[in-house]
Amino acid sequence: MQLNRILNFNAGPAALPLIVLEEIRDSFLDFKGSGMSITEVSHRSKWFDDVINDAIERTKRLLQLDDKFKVLFIQGGASMQFAMMPMNFLHNGKTADYVNTGTWSTKAIKEAEIQGKNFNVVASSEDSNFSYIPKNINFNKDAVYAHITSNNTIKGTQWASFPDTGGVPMIADMSSDIMCRPLDMDKFGMIYAGAQKNIGPAGICMVIIRDDMLGQVPDTLPSMLKYTTYASKNSMYNTPPCFAVYTVQLVMKWLEETIGGLDKMAELNDEKAGLLYDFIDSSDFYNGTAATDSRSLMNVTFRLPSEDLEKKFVGDAMENKLGGLKGHRSVGGCRASIYNAATKEGVATLVDFMKTFEKENG
Amino acid sequence: MQLNRILNFNAGPAALPLIVLEEIRDSFLDFKGSGMSITEVSHRSKWFDDVINDAIERTKRLLQLDDKFKVLFIQGGASMQFAMMPMNFLHNGKTADYVNTGTWSTKAIKEAEIQGKNFNVVASSEDSNFSYIPKNINFNKDAVYAHITSNNTIKGTQWASFPDTGGVPMIADMSSDIMCRPLDMDKFGMIYAGAQKNIGPAGICMVIIRDDMLGQVPDTLPSMLKYTTYASKNSMYNTPPCFAVYTVQLVMKWLEETIGGLDKMAELNDEKAGLLYDFIDSSDFYNGTAATDSRSLMNVTFRLPSEDLEKKFVGDAMENKLGGLKGHRSVGGCRASIYNAATKEGVATLVDFMKTFEKENG
């Protein structure tokens, strides 16, 4: 039977590698000979220990993490991290720096504000509708962290390289570009990523945190809201989201064994994004919305000459089994999210469709 | 091909109905003709809207909830609720009552204590190793809620009927017995349940909350930690754990359409537990650990004459494809968790095994 699958350009939840989905399906009634589904095995079993430990070990190898870093799995998405960061690090009047590059940065800042914490917004691209990544930022020496959003899903911008914080530990929300390329972790005190864009399903957030940051966490926080609880219990203080951890494990395995690591992944992502941006730049019909030097490898945002044409574009694309091309409801326009799991062939098919659509409607 | 499945008596994550697992497997690469996996569809799509709304509507029908109640899905398990309750309801010096019936009640109390909130432990069965459910409790009129754990997974006890709180809204952790029987919601201001025992996979907590409780939530809490955020956004302020919501939906569908509702479910659960307790009571080899009038329909805890025999029992059972019979690591002994998804035939098979084991080792 022909498999009914579309090319999925959703911004998140997003496409997962087919090989990962197939393994989940094939093992779903009998995980590793346990006679149980992965949703039914105890999180205190050897079966699940192997899953979570392998997910962590593969993550460490892929990002070349040394033992200063702990890999944690926390529920609640990046939004929960927006609240946990100030709670864990901004006690006793301490202050943090935030860079505002869009909707998600703004939400992160709002959660520090709600808690009445001290912070400074040291740079923002709000003056230009968040279409670029700010440069030459002065960070405050007394900040205990400097927060950035490494990729802005809605606006289609991404930090090409990371800023010099003058020694302040950087914390990055990498929900939409974690594992898209190798990472120099030396600059980071913590990174976190809701999994549902690049590394798994919704319902799990990967948090990678350095020992000295863990050392700052006060004992007095609620158990589920302090990083130390997760670090000391291998993310199993209570029942973790087992199915989601398993899916993340399989995505890490795919990255290592099928793709061949993050250098290879970065090459592929460059090629995929290149196909789309080169075509957009060659066309007068499609217009990229992000500043050229701030373009995202993951979310390619563009406009057509009119909103009517944009609506027709999204509809016609869906009829051609190209899904998820509508821009975020807050900004309109079109967006192709081409995360790790999007194939080069899929992106080429999209470019072909865009050419045809331009011919017929341009 | 013969399906390799065991009889799963795990305490949680636990057995799910086979029909639910099969539907997930069969739709896993193409959910409802979307050409995407349930893990890949947007939570802002019609596909997912139908899933979450159907899960909620079925929950309301099963529990006969009127419009005073909202059904929410929150991440972080029951442990996150232990922290959210005092945060949301015990501001400005308000106080709550707690009944301590075991490990999970104790943890809930601890989280109120960590936050420095006012509370009273109005009853406890700690004096007898939590082997019974306290009676004749005096609740405080000024408490804004009275917290109980409706079923104690580790100790194998359950409230047969709920106490009279004299009008104080009861909040119950129903993680291990939600939907095991009909419920008179009039007494409850809120109930909550980590899904991984009776209604779904790990990674999602169902919270059913009454309007007047929502009305007490302060605006000043972090967005992800206040019930009002979930209530005002149909649990989609941020990306919900879509796969887990979908699984809960299918379990609710199974409860309505295959089982035939909660009256039927209660009958079945009485029969299943009856098979086990009647046999245990008839045997001198097996000894139930919970007080007879406090016995749980969900977790049947028992001891054998020696720890060596208990170890052999668990091992021999596993060889006979009866899994998860080891007691919780904190108490030892044996435990058969027979949640909704455990079949009567499965329980009968367990009783047969227990008889044989007694003959051979008694």
pLDDT one-digit tens code per residue, B229-244 = 999 999 999 999 999 9
Task: Please indicate, yes or no, if residue B352 is contained in any of the structural domains.
Answer: yes
Residue B331 has pLDDT above 90, yes or no: no
Residue B148: which CATH number? 3.40.640.10
Residues A333 and A213 in one domain: no
Residue B2 has pLDDT above 80, yes or no: no
Residues B292 and B254 in one domain: no
pLDDT one-digit tens code per residue, B41-89 = 999 999 999 999 999 999 999 999 999 999 999 999 999 999 999 999 9
Tell if the CB–CB gap between B243 and A238 is shorter than 8 Å.
Answer: no
The answer for B 234-293 residues in CB contact with A (under 8 A) is 237-244, 247
Which of A36, A109, A226 best tests the B interface by mutation, with the highest count of B CBs <10 A? Answer: A36
For range B320-345, the mean pLDDT:
96
Residues B247 and B143 in one domain: yes
Residues B177 and B78 in one domain: yes
Q: Choose one of B239, B259, B279: the last residue of a domain.
A: B259
pLDDT one-digit tens code per residue, A277-294 = 999 999 999 999 999 999
Residues B213 and B330 in one domain: no
Residue A2 has pLDDT above 80, yes or no: no
* Interchain CB contact of A212 with B (< 8 Å): no
Report pLDDT for A193: 98
For range A211-237, the mean pLDDT:
98
* Rg value, chain B, Cα: 21
CA A305 to chain centre: 30
Taking Cα atoms as reference points, which of B231, B77, B42, B240 lies closest to residue A77?
B240
Pull the structure tokens for residue B100. 């301590």
Residue B253 has pLDDT above 60, yes or no: yes
Q: Choose one of A231, A259, A287: the last residue of a domain.
A: A259
Q: Which residue of A has its CA nearest to B238?
A: A79
Specify the amino acid at residue A129. N
Confidence of residue B329 (pLDDT cuts 50, 70, 90): confident
DSSP 8-state symbol, B328: P
For range B114-137, the mean pLDDT:
97
Task: Please indicate, yes or no, if residue A23 is contained in any of the structural domains.
Answer: no
Confidence of residue A1 (pLDDT cuts 50, 70, 90): low
Residue B274 has pLDDT above 60, yes or no: yes
Confidence of residue A3 (pLDDT cuts 50, 70, 90): confident
Q: Which of B21, B202, B239 has its CB closest to that of A28?
A: B21
Interatomic CA distance for residues B213 and B89, integer angstroms = 8
Task: Please indicate, yes or no, if residue B330 is contained in any of the structural domains.
Answer: yes
Report pLDDT for A331: 87
Residue A210 has pLDDT above 80, yes or no: yes
Residue B328 has pLDDT above 80, yes or no: yes
Interatomic CA distance for residues B351 and B43, integer angstroms = 44
Report pLDDT for A187: 93
Confidence of residue A330 (pLDDT cuts 50, 70, 90): confident
Residues A245 and A148 in one domain: yes
Task: Please indicate, yes or no, if residue B108 is contained in any of the structural domains.
Answer: yes
Task: Please indicate, yes or no, if residue B26 is contained in any of the structural domains.
Answer: no
For range A254-275, the mean pLDDT:
98
DSSP lists the bridge partners of residue A98 as A121, A147
Residue A119 has pLDDT above 70, yes or no: yes
Residues A177 and A70 in one domain: yes
Report pLDDT for A329: 85
Task: Please indicate, yes or no, if residue B25 is contained in any of the structural domains.
Answer: no
Residue that the structure tokens 């500043």 belong to:
A291
CB contacts of A4 in chain B (<8 Å) are 30, 33, 35
> What is the secondary structure of B265-310 as a DSSP string?
HHHHHHHHHHHHHHHHHH-SS-EE-S-GGGB-SSEEEEE-SSHHHH
- For A48, the enclosing helix (H) or strand (E) is helix A46-62
Residue A229 has pLDDT above 90, yes or no: yes
Q: Which of B30, B239, B324 has its CB closest to that of A5?
A: B30
Q: Choose one of A259, A290, A306: the last residue of a domain.
A: A259
* Interchain CB contact of B37 with A (< 8 Å): yes
Report pLDDT for A155: 95
Report pLDDT for B288: 96
Residues A304 and A199 in one domain: no
What is the domain range of residue A77? 31-259
Residues B142 and B71 in one domain: yes
pLDDT one-digit tens code per residue, B14-34 = 999 999 999 999 999 999 999
Number of domains chain A contains: 2
Task: Please indicate, yes or no, if residue A59 is contained in any of the structural domains.
Answer: yes
Interatomic CA distance for residues A88 and B283, integer angstroms = 54
Residues A83 and A202 in one domain: yes
Residue B357: which CATH number? 3.90.1150.10
Is the pTM value of this prediction over 0.80? Answer: yes
Residue A362 has pLDDT above 90, yes or no: no
Report pLDDT for A134: 98
CA A131 to chain centre: 19
CA A100 to chain centre: 17
Taking Cα atoms as reference points, which of A302, A298, A306, A305 lies closest to residue A280?
A302
Residues B224 and B280 in one domain: no
Whether B226 sits among the annotated catalytic residues: the reply is: no
Report pLDDT for B1: 55
Pull the structure tokens for residue A88. 């864990």
Specify the amino acid at residue A17. P
Task: Please indicate, yes or no, if residue B1 is contained in any of the structural domains.
Answer: no
Whether B186 sits among the annotated catalytic residues: the reply is: no
Residues B289 and B219 in one domain: no
